Structure 1
Amino acid sequence: MLSRIYIKNFALIDALDVSLHNGLQVITGETGAGKSIILGALRLILGERADLKSIAKAEEKSVVETEFQLDNQFKKFFIENDLDYEHQTIIRREILPSGKSRAFINDVPVTLDVLRTLSSQLIDIHSQFETSNLFTPEYQFKIIDGLSENKVLIEEYQQNFAEFQSFKTLLKKLQTQLSESTKEGDYKQFLLNELEELSLDDIDYEELQNQLSVQENAGMISENLAQILSRFHEEEIGILSFFNEAKNKLSKIAEVSQAFSELDQRLEESFVEIKDIIAELEDESENIEIDPEHLQKLSQLDSRLNMMFLKHNVQNLQGLKEIRDQIAGEQQGSAELEQQIAHTESQIQKKEKSLQTLAEKLSKNRKKNIPVFVKKAEDLLKKLGLEKAKVDIDLQLANEYNLFGKENIQLLFQANSGFPLRPIQTAISGGERSRVMLAVKKIIAESDMLPTLILDEIDTGVSGKVAEEIGNLMREMSADMQLIVISHLAQVAAKGNNNYKVVKEDVNGKTQSKIIVLSDQEKLNEIAQLLSGSRITEAALAQAKELIG
């Protein structure tokens, strides 16, 4: 319930602070007094766009603050949005002189999306010019689902529908990824095969280069080794003979002079080392083999590797391995994509079965309650002066699942007898819209907990008995909800549990709007004035008393 409205520095309002109550709250006032300004301020609470022109004093901020009495059903919203739940919750909107606006829930800054989500569950503002939502499938489903007590069922369906849509979106994304991957798949597989054929993990690149160098220079190596070994082994001037002779002579000197012992030892060691070197050279000489076939294989492998280096723009064998692993991963990713697609398609099928079951239950409940809606609506419209009006709801099977099931809806209407029912948006006149909407709101109020409903002059253009019935209807609606009505009808004002009047006055040469809480006597005078005009007559007072009853 909306329990308080505070407005500061907004249009013609310097400061306004009014408390509201449960039941029927009626606001009256002359045209142009500022009733629409109050509604405009409340629309800021609903998250509508803030206009810098609304600031009366340009150097000060504009503030609209509302206080609501909430029950525990809203706790979940506060928890999900990391807000402190308060039974008395304050929603505030500020427009700064810079033009920026800020929103707060219980003094915690929030985004406009969060503000809208909460306030849309608390206030429903409807004016005589706002009946277009009656023409929307969403609103028409809301009417019949309320009567059909489909609230829990529609919530379950819409949860499944959201998941169904999410899976369909995911499937489309995966299929796109697979399609793009498939376009390059054959070429990438060719590259992968090309790299895998090289057996990169078995190649020692340095050893390959060494073997290739040896094979390419085998003749030169063999020739030089032969010459080296020949020098060592020549009998007359060979190095071994020379070393052996020198070693023997130095040994004799060392026997007689201790000073040469160390040199003798060193020469001995060198002689042993040279013999080892010669032995290894002889082994290597024997191993050197000119193998044209092996050389060709080594050359071909080296050429293929160099070609791969250039092709993949890498500098070494490790770079090729990384490219190979990357392509292998991508190819594996394609296989995983196919698995994900299969799994997602399976989930879609499961969700579709759930949707089918729930949609059939929704449809069954709706069709069962269409006659209930027709009778209620036509009875209310007769009271509201549309004695010949006929209504119906047409449900047709849809090609695809939508947010409300697998059917399309049309609210049908005809104000005059003898003519066929037509979709309401093409059949209803301007004078009938408000009364039809009021009847619909009454039906919804009976079957669903509506938020605070604010009706702005939707009773315009009626009088007499119809006006009396509108007042009675609003009083009935307010028994189960808070109903705030802006009206020019005495018959409606007379039914108010609490009455308020918006007036304009001159304060220090500046026009300002304010709202006055009417006492019982002031309410009587206001109703009489609505009946007789600016001059209140005794007859008008008597009629006002009769209306109040």
Structure 2
Amino acid sequence: MLSTLSISNYALIDSLEVDFDKGFTVITGETGAGKSILLGGLSLVLGKRADLTSLRVKDQKCIIEGTFKLDTYGLQNFFEENDLDYDVSTVIRREILPSGKSRAFVNDTPVTLGVLSSLGENLIDIHSQHQTMQLTENDFQLKLVDALANNQKRLSEYRKGLKTYRKAEKELQNLVDVQVTANKEQDYNSFLLEELEKAPLKLGVIEELEEEYEQLNNVELIMEQLSKGDQLFNDEQIGVLPLVTEMRQSLSKLVDFGTNYKDLYERVKSVLIELDDVSSELQRLQEGVEANPDQLEQVNNKLQLLYNLLKKHNAGDVSELISIKNELADKVFETANLDQKIASKTKEIQEIESALEVQAIVLREKRNAVTPKLKKKLESDLGLLGMPSASFEIELSASESFTSTGKDELSFLFTANRGGSYGELKKVASGGELSRIMLVIKAILAKYEKLPTIMFDEIDTGVSGEISNRMADIMKDMSGDLQVFSITHLPQVASKGNHHFKVYKTEGKERTMTNMKQLTTDERVVELAHMLSGKDLSDSALAHAKQLLNSTQEV
């Protein structure tokens, strides 16, 4: 419920703060007094886009603030999903800056215009000519039928299933798309994989093969140098080993003459052991070296294969080739298993579709059960509003595809005249008839689901006094379940309000300002008298106004 509205520096409003209460609130005022300005300001709080024309004083910002009591709205999840602090008394603030930019806040937390608009839809329903056209839309008509059928919980469960169904359909299409692409690439990927699998891919393989290649390619040089080294070690005349052996034998004769000689002997002995080991290694290497043209060719082929693969795959080293091989193996495997995945996903969709079909049928059965009651209620209530011959044809038929409301197509036809031809509302109903139909529908919805605050903007335009009296009764009856506002020019409607506000203009020396105030009982009598007879008050007008107000309040 809207409890407070504060507006500053907006259009003709300098500064305004008004408190509202539950029940039926009427707002009156002369044409041009600024009732539309009030609505415009309220719309900004609810998320409507703004521009610099909103500013009264162009170099100052406009601030519009609304306080809402949310204890019965069930909006905790909305606040949680949008990271907002929930408060039973929530303050929404909208600021329009001189630069043209605007900012929005919910309980002092900045929000986007999208979030504000979504929240606003749950707070106030401003009835206007544009909204009346919603009446002609199939989804709105189904909403009415579902309210009577108590289908809200069923629809919620159905929509969860539909969301899963749509997701599964998308996943299936993605699998099919992947399969089409994969089938085109499968042969090539398999060829690349086979090529990499045949290559000796392991870390360090290129370095090992390059070393082996150099050894095989220089075998004569290696054999020559190893032989020369063996000769230098073992020649009887000048060989290293005979000479060092002779040196060891000489020093062995001195070991008893002191530690210095003994240490020197031990060092030469160690050197001789190491040299003997080196000589043995030279001989072993000599025995293992031989020319092998076939092995050289094999090593060279392996190296060239690896070099070519590195270049072909634009890889920096063998580890990258291994990664590419693994990726190709995954692709080939996935492609080979896509048929199974597609079959599994298709089965899943069929199962979800079967469940949705059952839910859609239940929705249709519940809807069909209440359409006679809805037809009777609409025609009866419209009869009280001066449309005694109003008649509806409401029929449901199965549609081919799933929608957010099930699998139903609703035929909602209307005629205002006895014996007239039925047609779609937007084609056969006048603006005044649509307004009355919408009022009746809102009244019905208020009995079956929790509606936000409703503000009717001159819904009674163009109707007679008696009919407007009945329209006021409907709005007042609705206010027992929710907060209802009515902007009206008719005294019959204004007299029914629990609370009465007047919008008026005051003219200063330099500018005109729009103001709003709540009327006392005496002020209401005067206002109603003006609405009955115009500016010139007469005793009879005042008496009529007092009688109208008293009779209404007694009821």
CA shift, 1:158, in A, is 2.0
- In structure 2, the CA distance between the partners of 1:119 and 1:254, relative to structure 1 (3 Å rule), is same
Say whether residues 1:126 and 2:127 are aligned partners: yes
**Whole-Å separation in 1 of the counterparts to 2:473 and 2:248:** 141
**Whole-Å separation in 2 of the counterparts to 1:459 and 1:244:** 128
CA shift, 1:336, in A, is 8.0
Residue pairs, 1:315-334, within 5 angstroms: 315-331=316-332
Alignment root-mean-square deviation, CA: 3.1
Structure 2 equivalent of residue 52 of structure 1: 52
CA shift, 1:81, in A, is 3.6
CA shift, 1:489, in A, is 1.5
**Whole-Å separation in 1 of the counterparts to 2:97 and 2:441:** 39
Structure 1 equivalent of residue 497 of structure 2: 496
Structure 2 counterpart of 1:15, one-letter code: S
**Matched residue of 1:201: which SS?**
coil
- Checking the alignment, whether the CA contact within 8 Å between 1:531 and 1:540 is kept in structure 2 is yes
Structure 2 counterpart of 1:473, one-letter code: I
Structure 1 counterpart of 2:371, one-letter code: I
Structure 2 equivalent of residue 4 of structure 1: 4
Structure 1 equivalent of residue 104 of structure 2: 103
**Whole-Å separation in 2 of the counterparts to 1:267 and 1:476:** 121
- In structure 2, the CA distance between the partners of 1:308 and 1:78, relative to structure 1 (3 Å rule), is closer
- Cα-to-partner distance string for 1:166-224 (whole Å, 9 max, x where unaligned): 33334444544554455434323322221221232387433322322222222343345
- Cα-to-partner distance string for 1:441-488 (whole Å, 9 max, x where unaligned): 122122222211101112111114322322222222223222111111
CA shift, 1:145, in A, is 0.8
Say whether residues 1:466 and 2:461 are aligned partners: no
Structure 1 equivalent of residue 402 of structure 2: 401
- How many residues were matched structurally? 548
- Cα-to-partner distance string for 1:42-63 (whole Å, 9 max, x where unaligned): 1112101022211111222212
Structure 1 equivalent of residue 13 of structure 2: 13
- In structure 2, the CA distance between the partners of 1:445 and 1:260, relative to structure 1 (3 Å rule), is closer
- Checking the alignment, whether the CA contact within 8 Å between 1:370 and 1:392 is kept in structure 2 is no
Structure 1 equivalent of residue 67 of structure 2: 67
Structure 2 equivalent of residue 25 of structure 1: 25
- In structure 2, the CA distance between the partners of 1:525 and 1:266, relative to structure 1 (3 Å rule), is closer
Say whether residues 1:528 and 2:506 are aligned partners: no
- Checking the alignment, whether the CA contact within 8 Å between 1:27 and 1:487 is kept in structure 2 is yes
CA shift, 1:347, in A, is 4.5
Structure 2 counterpart of 1:325, one-letter code: N
Q: TM-score, normalised by structure 1?
A: 0.89
Q: Tell me which moved more, 183-192 or 39-48.
A: 183-192
CA shift, 1:132, in A, is 1.4
Structure 2 counterpart of 1:161, one-letter code: L
- Checking the alignment, whether the CA contact within 8 Å between 1:91 and 1:105 is kept in structure 2 is yes
CA shift, 1:149, in A, is 1.1
CA shift, 1:134, in A, is 1.0
What 5-or-longer segments of structure 1 have no aligned partner? none
Structure 2 equivalent of residue 385 of structure 1: 386
Structure 1 equivalent of residue 287 of structure 2: 286
- Checking the alignment, whether the CA contact within 8 Å between 1:128 and 1:460 is kept in structure 2 is no
Residue pairs, 1:228-267, within 5 angstroms: 229=230, 239=239, 243=243, 247=247, 250=250
CA shift, 1:491, in A, is 1.8
Q: Tell me which moved more, 33-42 or 532-541.
A: 532-541
Identity across matched positions, percent: 38
Q: TM-score, normalised by structure 2?
A: 0.88
Structure 2 counterpart of 1:494, one-letter code: S
Structure 1 equivalent of residue 35 of structure 2: 35
- In structure 2, the CA distance between the partners of 1:368 and 1:241, relative to structure 1 (3 Å rule), is closer
Q: Tell me which moved more, 376-385 or 243-252.
A: 243-252
Structure 2 equivalent of residue 505 of structure 1: 506
What 5-or-longer segments of structure 2 have no aligned partner? none
**Whole-Å separation in 2 of the counterparts to 1:232 and 1:131:** 113
- In structure 2, the CA distance between the partners of 1:228 and 1:360, relative to structure 1 (3 Å rule), is same
CA shift, 1:31, in A, is 0.8
Q: Tell me which moved more, 74-83 or 52-61.
A: 74-83
Structure 2 equivalent of residue 444 of structure 1: 445
- Checking the alignment, whether the CA contact within 8 Å between 1:2 and 1:69 is kept in structure 2 is yes
Say whether residues 1:368 and 2:369 are aligned partners: yes
- In structure 2, the CA distance between the partners of 1:156 and 1:545, relative to structure 1 (3 Å rule), is same
- In structure 2, the CA distance between the partners of 1:328 and 1:238, relative to structure 1 (3 Å rule), is same
- Checking the alignment, whether the CA contact within 8 Å between 1:215 and 1:291 is kept in structure 2 is yes
- Checking the alignment, whether the CA contact within 8 Å between 1:64 and 1:93 is kept in structure 2 is yes
**Matched residue of 2:202: which SS?**
helix
**Whole-Å separation in 1 of the counterparts to 2:283 and 2:136:** 104
- Checking the alignment, whether the CA contact within 8 Å between 1:128 and 1:457 is kept in structure 2 is no
CA shift, 1:338, in A, is 7.0
- Checking the alignment, whether the CA contact within 8 Å between 1:148 and 1:369 is kept in structure 2 is yes
Structure 2 equivalent of residue 419 of structure 1: 420
